[in-house]
Structure 1
Amino acid sequence: MSESSIAIRSLMTRERSAVSLIFLANGFLIGSWAPKIPEFASRLGLDESELGLMILCFGIGSLCAMALVGVAIARNGSQQVVRILAAIATPSLLVLTLAPSIWSAALVLFALGALIGGMDVAMNANAVEVEKQERRAIMSSCHGFWSLGGVLGAALGGLLISVFGVFTHSLLVSLLTAIMVAFAWPRVLADPTTAPADAAHHPKDPARPRGLSGLGATVWLTGIICLIMMTPEGAILDWGALYMRQELGASPAMSGLAFGAFSAAMAMMRFMGDLVRDRFGAVRTFRVSSLLAILGLSLAGMAPSPAWAIAGFAITGLGLANTVPIAFSAAGNLPGLPRGLAISVVTFMGYSGILFAPSIIGFIAEHTGFAVIYLSLTVLIALAIGFSGITRHADRPTGS
């Protein structure tokens, strides 16, 4: 066996491969849902507003689960929670395809959102435990696998639906997801179910959280950082193409490259992010990444042409790629809090930025235009840099 193959095997341990597969499966399910939306709306006779309410059911389900799963992780550990949620989520798109009415479909979408959101909290908590065990960063690459799963789900979904139809597509998605979950199942790290005495590691931490009734300023500030860093992603996903067409005169084909360039750059950087963080530390990586995101959003907001805006969105993706994984790692290592609870809170706050901020942005943009929005987001990111010292907790696994 060559030295390079030995090095690769030492990097991709059983536990790391398992949690990476869970991230891949979660992203694959979400990506596979996207190409089903037109057929879903047509089959149930939904107009745009009704479809929007349906999608809102998914979002509400996600946030409800994110707020509750942390308690289950604190009691039972992330291994058991992530296994159960992944197993139940596996056939969810097939169940949604068979939903016979609007009300049943709304309930299934709420459940699907809850399963996906709950998995998100549990798999991030498990990734933190793997980081602690291996004493190195893995969170960014895990999120890279999530991005990869989303791309694969969306790309394969359109092809499978056009060739085989929606039912066969859902069946194949469930089968592929089951294979991922089955391979990961025996390898998921069995983390401790009781929180360690972390106070000794951080005796001078003034914002040390002390339990559910007093989470502490550090938890909320970490959640605010996630909220700030995930809001631009929602702004580009929902409004990037419209900005390109309405304000920069881009063609329909080119306008679609706004989020494409952003997501491709983000996925690429996430697979490099762990090495960067281990080399330079979480705080420095977070700050430099944030400055890169500010540069990208500024370029997109002041772009004289669609090509410049696409370049700006790509740079933004490079910058934002590692900020949220760092914040999740920091949340998972906050001292004095039941295991998984901080990640639950931070995930809830962060994903609110993707689910609800775009609606507010759309309302404001009616009066200001999207260029002003993207430039204004740089101010929020600068605010997050001011709180970035909190991300030092993400380095704990490599230094403990």
Structure 2
Amino acid sequence: MSDQAFDRALQERARLFPRPRVAVATLFLLNGFVMGSWAPKIPEFAGRLALSEADLGLMLLAFGVGSVLLMPLAGAQIARLGSNRVVQVATLLFIPTILGVTFAPSIWSGAMAIFLFGGLTGAMDVSMNANAVEVERRMGRSIMSSCHAFWSLGGLLGSSIGGYLIAAAGVSLHAVMVSSTSLALFLIARPMILKDAPHLEEVSTRARLPISPLPWLIGIIALFSMIPEGTILDWGAIYLRDELSADIGLSGLAFAAFSLTMAIMRFMGDWVRDRLGAVRTLRICSVLSFSGLVVAGLAPNVFVALLGFGIAGVGISNMVPIAFSAAGNAPGMAAGVGLSVVTTLGYSGILFAPSLIGFVAEHTSLSIVFTGVSMLNIVVLGLSNLARHADRPVDHVR
């Protein structure tokens, strides 16, 4: 390759992957890695604190409450300070929380540790999504879906190697390794994070819960997109085992089939959005999600159900990233404020809806649950025109 061709290749790579895009993708990877690393620690956490299943449920509820409380606070601070400063503080505070849940010696200290763990991952989530919105604006192209794909990749890495490291090195060394790796990722990303301006003119009027219905309607899109995700995560394996007579090995493939197709499509999602537009992409995704959940809910056997969950993963993959982009670009409010509303509503679908679904399933069946949850996509389809706010490029990264 000639020097000129090499220079052109470097310039093209810099155009497609400017430093701020690399930075925000690294932050998503970091957050997903820590959250994935938490999953194999849960049994040890429950055993160390002698928690019953009910006690563990309350602990996980504390995680959700922490997220819901600190997400709006982070959104207000983004309006005041800009996403760059907030995401740095939130990330630095979030990284050691994995040590807190590892070394908590009592139930009360464990509850405080898991509350902070949930709250600070929520604060980091809002701020890194706000920064991704700013990068999208500067680049004039979609990147949100690929950012969420990096989160899924981080979660896959953390969960897949976490169990092995815990078995080989112990929970304490595992926590130190996770926090050290996360700190290294942050230090790599920090100098490249996009420095966006605060929205000081909007702090006094819009750093509160917005009066405009727009972010709340976009939040419903996120909520109704994430409820199916939480339902498959928490109840897919039980559905395959109890109602379709799957063995242990096959029952574990429900969320695997869903997450595999979701991760693949998230890496492709920005390319699709740039060509079809956010509105058309959301409509196609909601139809696919609806179809996949119906196929899974009415499946006569395990393999048809797995096909349905895979189709649902293709559909759900880009629904939430589009909702986040639309919230960050919603007119008349700071990006962090709109995102805090949408993120809080959306994640409540994963944090709280599955417990309600368990009550419904106890009186009906999970087949009816999955078929019924598919109807939420009809609401998303009806609100899909709001996704036009996701297609609002402003200027370009220099």
Mark yes or no: TM-score above 0.5. Answer: yes
Deviations 1:127-160 (A, max 9, x none): 0000000000000000000000111000110110
1:375 aligns with 2:371: yes
Aligned ranges 1:233-312 → 2 under 5 Å: 233-312=229-308
Give the Cα separation in 1 of the matches to 2:16 and 2:363: 51
Q: Does 1:16 align with 2:21?
A: yes
Aligned match of 2:319: 323
Answer whether contact 1:215 1:337 (CA < 8 A) is retained: no
Shift of 1:295: 1.1
- Equivalent position of 1:170 in the other structure: 175
Deviations 1:41-76 (A, max 9, x none): 111111111111111111111111112111000000
RMSD: 1.7
- In structure 2, relative to structure 1, the CA distance for the partners of 1:214 and 1:22 (3 Å cut) is closer
* 1:205 alignment partner in structure 2: none
Secondary structure of the equivalent of 1:85? helix
1:282-312 Cα offsets, whole Å, 9 max, x none, are: 0000000111111111110111110111111
The amino acid across from 2:35 in the alignment is I
Say whether 1:120 aligns with 2:125. yes
More off after superposition, 210-219 vs 52-61 = 210-219
Aligned pairs for 1:1-400 within 5 A: 1=6, 6-194=11-199, 212=208, 214-397=210-393
Distance 1:5 1:317, change over 3 A: farther
**Cα distance change, pair 293–124 in 1 and its aligned pair in 2 (3 A):** same
Rounded to whole Å, the distance in 2 between the matches of 1:308 and 1:195 is 53
- Tell which deviates more after alignment, 331-340 or 385-394: 331-340
Report the CA distance shift for 1:70/1:34 in structure 2 as closer, same or farther (over 3 A).
Answer: same
Q: Distance in 2 between matches of 1:381 and 1:160?
A: 39
Bigger mean CA offset, 171-180 vs 6-15: 6-15
Distance 1:195 1:143, change over 3 A: farther
Amino acid at match of 2:14: R
How many residue pairs were aligned?
Answer: 389
Matching residue's letter, 1:232 = P
Aligned partner of 2:3 in structure 1 is none
Code of the residue aligned with 2:285 in structure 1: it is S
- 8 Å CA contact 2:257–2:310 kept in 1: the answer is yes
Q: 1:299 to 1:84 in 2, by over 3 A?
A: same
In the alignment, the residues of structure 2 paired with residue 11 and residue 285 of structure 1 have an alpha-carbon distance, to the nearest angstrom, of 21
8 A contact 1:228–1:384 mirrored in 2: yes
Residue 33 of structure 2 contacts residue 157 of structure 2 at CA under 8 Å; is this kept in 1? yes
Q: CA 1:399–1:168 in 2, change beyond 3 Å: closer, same or farther?
A: closer
SS at match of 1:292: helix
Per-residue deviation, 1:177: 0.3
Task: Give structure 1 stretches of 5+ with no counterpart.
Answer: 198-208
Contact preservation (8 Å) 1:211, 1:336 = no
2:20–2:192 CA contact under 8 A, matched in 1: yes
1:332 counterpart letter in structure 2: G
- Cα distance 1:363–1:45, how it changes in 2: closer, same or farther (>3 A)? same
Aligned-partner residue type, residue 350 of structure 1: G
TM-score (ref. length: structure 2):
0.95
CA distance in 1, matches of 2:226, 2:97: 26
Q: Distance in 2 between matches of 1:142 and 1:387?
A: 24
Distance in 1 (alpha carbons) for counterparts of 2:372 and 2:357: 11
CA, structure 1 residues 230+3, in 2 after alignment: closer, same or farther (shift >3 Å)? same
Q: Map Cα deviations across residues 58-96 of structure 1 (whole Å, 9 max, x no partner).
A: 111111111211100000000000001111111221222
- Counterparts of 1:76 and 1:288 in 2: how far apart (Å)? 37
2:228–2:374 contact (8 Å) kept in structure 1: no
Moved more, 95-104 or 34-43: 95-104
Provide, for residues 251-276 of structure 1, a one-character-per-residue CA deviation record: whole Å limited to 9, x for no partner: 11100000011011111100000010
Q: Is the 8 A contact 1:24 1:148 kept in 2?
A: yes
SS at match of 2:299: coil
TM-score, length of structure 1 as denominator length: 0.94
- Give the Å deviation of 1:349: 0.3
Q: Residues 213 and 299 from structure 1, CA distance in 2 versus in 1: closer, same or farther, beyond 3 angstroms? A: closer
- Contact kept, 8 Å, 2:210 with 2:337, in 1: the verdict is no
Q: Is the 8 A contact 1:83 1:185 kept in 2?
A: yes
Distance in 1 separating the partners of 2:335 and 2:375:
33
Instruction: Rate the CA distance shift 1:15–1:332 in 2: closer, same or farther, 3 A.
Output: same
Equivalent-residue separation in structure 2 for 1:384 and 1:375 (angstroms): 16
Letter in 1 for 2:361: A
Question: What is the rounded CA distance, in whole Å, between the counterparts of 2:275 and 2:313 in structure 1?
Answer: 21
Displacement, 1:317?
Answer: 0.5
Rounded to whole Å, the distance in 1 between the matches of 2:9 and 2:264 is 21
Letter matched to residue 312 of structure 2: T
- Flag structure 2 segments of 5+ consecutive residues without an equivalent: 1-5
The DSSP-based 3-state class of the residue aligned with 2:362 is helix
